[in-house]
Amino acid sequence: MSAGQPPLDSPETRRLTPVLGPGHTFGSVTDKISSIVLTRPTSFGWYMGFLIAFGLTGLLTIAIAWLFTKGTGIWGINIPIGWGFAIVNFVWWIGIGHAGTLISAILFLLNQKWRTSINRFAEAMTLFAVACAGIFPLIHTGRPWMAFYMFPYPSTMGVWPQFRSPLIWDVFAVSTYGTVSLIFWFVGLIPDLATLRDHAVKKPAQIIYGMLSMGWRGSARHWHRYQSAYLLLAGLATPLVLSVHTVVSFDFAIAIVPGWHTTIFPPYFVAGAIYSGFAMVLTIAIPLRKAYGLEDFITMRHLDNMAKVMLATGLIVAYGYFFEMFLSLYSGNKFDVFLVEQRLHGPYAPFYYALILCNILLPQTLWSHTLRHNVAFLFFMSIVVNVGMWLERFVIVVISLTRDFVPSAWGRYWPTFWDWATFIGTIGMFVTLLFLFVRVLPAISIAEMRELVAETSEDKK
Amino acid sequence: MAQIFHRSTNFIARFSVFSFIFIMGFAVLAVLEAARSPYMTRQNITREQPVQFSHKHHVGDDGIDCRYCHTTVEISAVAGIPPTKTCMNCHSVLFSNAGYLDPVRESYRTDTSIKWVKVHRLADFVYFNHSIHVNKGVGCTTCHGPIDQMPLVFQASTLLMQWCVDCHRNPAPNLRPMDKVFAMDWQPGADQEELGQQFMKEREIRTAAELTSCSTCHR
């Protein structure tokens, strides 16, 4: 190599090595990942997990069918609190999706090598989370069959959507986000699908992967264009991550409700999205590497880095909580001050304290190097943060609505069975899709892992 | 190893990519077009009525004024369908034995209404007012078509909201002299553009913003 090559024990080399277990070649990486899809027998655990998740998806179907039959009144929402679980879960799922794009796009632009072995399933997680999120804006409307009115098309009524409503921006944000994520994910998959096509033994698999890989031959010209396209998509997806959750935060920040009308929402929602998203990536990565023996690819370094990102974004979120409260008190506005009182002493105060515990206090343990390297603990923390971020959305949506300007319009919101069934059903759908994904597509990018092998071995020469 | 795909799949691949855009484009156009088609709007379709009442005969041949039967069109939101008594004004002596008038005489004798089939059906969330249109100089045929030539009434306009709104945004081309509102043969002249603007001022017709605000129709 040229004179610019770093020496053997350079920090660059040391930085790269732990991203991949020692002794891997192009062949071993390819075999390891493609065997999950092609040769390994489908395990009993996979069938059991899939069946349970699919059963919960059935619950979702029943919940939605009953909702369409009876109307949104089967939920716990009422007149002061028109937004309940549907919006809480929507924001939660959209937030979860954001880490996938962060890993695949932003870390790519920042040239972070450790993204390589987690980006594929993180992107899949994004897609499935967006699919779950996308259900809620549709079904939380009273007349979901009219939802197409939210798209700007030349209607027979001569009317168009109101482009000043953040709920219309949501339609554009989420549909664009879903589409770009899908394309980004698929473009990344093309070389890997070609690998699967070439490794498949059975004719149907060859044909299916062959069609999906669209004749990829891996020539220099292919790779040149592929990399330009990938870079461009990463550049496009990055502003999307920031804007999509900003738009979601506008749903609240645009309103005049105390506790919603806050200018800190856009960045603080985005930070929260990445926070919960990384928690979900950890929740998926830890069982995945265990079940399929991927410890060489998803190393402790990955888990450590993800925990660090969680800690960093968790601190931004903590800053958000602090300043939200500080500015409410500093404003001197009696409704804002009252909101603080409501959070601390109102009927939903336990939710707020649980939120502080899950999102601020417990994650501080991630400062410890030892705890960050304890896989079981990390898994526990990732669940804690997922719960905490769900509570955050519950606190924002529900507490602000239950007690606002007019005391005669104070109310309570408690979810019904159908609220829970819909929420748990979307979790089932998410897991179902993940199980299918792990079974039929490479969960780790083979082509990029090979690049990683090349880079690490070149450094060692 | 044998090739997976035969050479012929080159054509299929190219064709499917190329045609996808066209198929999707046509599908969208087809849906948009279907929503405006007579199949959906029920435009230009005559409906079977309990009595074969012919506007062509009564208006076109006999020259009866619209308001003889549709009495409330100038004063009420509803133009009104004439009661059996209006029919019997003439038909107690005219064609008093004709078979196709049996339902009318039956209605008169038993004091039960004739069940006319409504051709211009608006949804209940649209509050259409006839009198305001007639009093601002919108003629019958502008919306209902050449009624004097219809043996059985059909819906001449689409009645889509787009159609209503088009005129509310720009009423001038459809405004007539007040004495021509019930004229069946009125056609806009060469000076309609000028006249329309003049009528707009004279009759104090409101701005497009006021005429197309939601509460104009959806009260």
Whether the pLDDT of residue A445 is over 50: the answer is yes
Closest CA to A99 of A129, A137, A136, A133: A129
Residue A172 to residue A247: CA distance in whole angstroms: 10
Instruction: Give the gap in angstroms from C-alpha A265 to the nearest C-alpha of chain B.
Output: 33
- Indicate yes or no: CB of B4 within 8 angstroms of CB of A156: no
Mean pLDDT of chain B: 93
CA–CA distances in Å: residue B108 to residues A324, B58, B114, B144, B164 = 77, 20, 9, 29, 38
Instruction: Answer whether A158 touches B (CB < 8 Å).
Output: yes
Q: A348: buried, middle or exposed (CB in 10 Å: 19+, 13-18, 0-12)?
A: middle
Whether the Cβ atoms of residue A225 and residue A162 lie closer than 8 Å to each other: no
Window 206-245 of A, Cβ < 8 Å to B = 206-207, 210, 214-215
- At A13 the pLDDT is 53
**Stretch A116-137: mean pLDDT:** 94
Chain A contact set for B165 (CB, 8 A): 157-159
All structural domains of chain A with their residue ranges: 24-460
Whether the pLDDT of residue A16 is over 80: the answer is no
B138 has which bridge partners?
A: B175
pLDDT more than 90, % of chain A: 79
Taking CA atoms, what residue in B is nearest to A153? B32
Instruction: Answer whether A156 touches B (CB < 8 Å).
Output: yes
pTM, 2 dp: 0.91
pLDDT more than 90, % of chain B: 89
Per-residue pLDDT band at A452 (split at 50, 70, 90): confident
Whether the Cβ atoms of residue A402 and residue A78 lie closer than 8 Å to each other: no
Residue A244 to residue A256: CA distance in whole angstroms: 21
Chain A contact set for B5 (CB, 8 A): 207, 210
Taking CA atoms, what residue in B is nearest to A212? B13
For tokens 């090598």, what's the residue? A113
Residue A447 to residue A457: CA distance in whole angstroms: 16
Helix runs in A262-360, H state only: 265-291, 300-331, 334-345, 349-356
Closest CA to A314 of A363, A253, A372: A363
Closest CA to A147 of A165, A128, A161: A161
Taking CA atoms, what residue in B is nearest to A156? B162
For tokens 């937030």, what's the residue? A95
- At A14 the pLDDT is 54
Whether the pLDDT of residue A88 is over 50: the answer is yes
Residue B126 to residue A420: CA distance in whole angstroms: 39
The pair of three-digit structure tokens given for residue A129, joined into one six-digit string: 């989370």
Residue A284 CB partners (closer than 8 Å, separation 6+)? A121, A125, A434
Taking CA atoms, what residue in A is nearest to B10? A215
- Indicate yes or no: CB of B36 within 8 angstroms of CB of A156: yes
CA dihedral for A155, A157, A162, A166, sign (positive or negative): negative
Buried b or exposed e, range A379-403, using 16+ CB within 10 angstroms: bebbebbbbbbbbbbbbbbbbbbbb
- Indicate yes or no: CB of A156 within 8 angstroms of CB of B166: no
Report the range of poorest mean pLDDT among A12-21, A74-83, A263-272, B188-197.
Answer: A12-21
Chain B contact set for A155 (CB, 8 A): 35, 162
- Per this entry, what is the length of chain B? 219
Instruction: Answer whether A153 touches B (CB < 8 Å).
Output: yes
Whether the pLDDT of residue A320 is over 50: the answer is yes
**Stretch A219-242: mean pLDDT:** 93
Per-residue pLDDT band at B96 (split at 50, 70, 90): confident
- Indicate yes or no: CB of A157 within 8 angstroms of CB of B165: yes
**Stretch A419-436: mean pLDDT:** 96
Instruction: Answer whether A148 touches B (CB < 8 Å).
Output: no
All structural domains of chain B with their residue ranges: 9-40, 48-81+116-216
| pLDDT tens-digit readout, B16-29 | 989 999 999 999 99
Instruction: Give the gap in angstroms from C-alpha B172 to the nearest C-alpha of chain A.
Output: 19
Per-residue pLDDT band at A459 (split at 50, 70, 90): low
Chain B contact set for A158 (CB, 8 A): 161-162, 165-166
A9 vs B196, which has greater pLDDT?
Answer: B196
- At A1 the pLDDT is 37
For tokens 């045609």, what's the residue? B19
3-state class percentages of chain B: helix first, strand second, coil last, to nearest 5: 50, 0, 50
- Indicate yes or no: CB of B4 within 8 angstroms of CB of A159: no
Whether the pLDDT of residue A229 is over 90: the answer is yes
Instruction: Give the gap in angstroms from C-alpha A146 to the nearest C-alpha of chain B.
Output: 15
Helix then strand count (H, E) for chain A reads: 18, 0
Closest CA to A196 of A210, A177, A217: A210
Per-residue pLDDT band at A453 (split at 50, 70, 90): confident
**Stretch B80-103: mean pLDDT:** 92
Per-residue pLDDT band at B136 (split at 50, 70, 90): very high
- At A461 the pLDDT is 46
| Number of alpha carbons in the 13 Å side-chain half-sphere of residue A433 | 18
Whether the Cβ atoms of residue A177 and residue A244 lie closer than 8 Å to each other: yes
Residue A382 to residue A280: CA distance in whole angstroms: 7
Report the range of poorest mean pLDDT among A20-34, A401-415, B21-35.
Answer: A20-34
- At A3 the pLDDT is 43
Whether the pLDDT of residue A170 is over 80: the answer is yes
Whether domain A24-460 has CATH 1.20.1630.10: yes
CA angle, A330 then A333 then A335, to 5°: 120
The pair of three-digit structure tokens given for residue A414, joined into one six-digit string: 């408690």
- At A120 the pLDDT is 92
Instruction: Give the gap in angstroms from C-alpha A105 to the nearest C-alpha of chain B.
Output: 27
Whether the pLDDT of residue B33 is over 50: the answer is yes
Neighbours of A46 (CB within 10 A): 15
Please tell me which of the candidates B5, B13, B32 has its beta carbon nearest to residue A154: B32
**Stretch A104-128: mean pLDDT:** 91
Neighbours of A319 (CB within 10 A): 15
**Stretch A176-190: mean pLDDT:** 94
DSSP per residue over A64-98, as a string? HHHHHHH-GGGSS--SS----HHHHHHHHHHHHHH
Whether the pLDDT of residue A9 is over 80: the answer is no
B169: amino acid identity, one letter: R
Residue B80 to residue B62: CA distance in whole angstroms: 21
| pLDDT tens-digit readout, A349-366 | 999 999 999 999 999 999
Window 173-212 of A, Cβ < 8 Å to B = 197, 203, 206-207, 210
- At A5 the pLDDT is 47
Whether the Cβ atoms of residue A276 and residue A358 lie closer than 8 Å to each other: no
Residue A205 to residue A203: CA distance in whole angstroms: 5
Instruction: Give the gap in angstroms from C-alpha B161 to the nearest C-alpha of chain A.
Output: 4
pLDDT more than 70, % of chain B: 100
Collapsing DSSP states into helix, strand and coil, what is residue B175? strand
- At A22 the pLDDT is 74
Buried b or exposed e, range B20-41, using 16+ CB within 10 angstroms: eeeeeeeeeeeeeeebbeeeeb
pLDDT more than 70, % of chain A: 95
A92 vs A201, which has greater pLDDT?
Answer: A92
Whether the Cβ atoms of residue B167 and residue B174 lie closer than 8 Å to each other: yes
Report the range of poorest mean pLDDT among A95-104, A129-138, B132-141.
Answer: A95-104
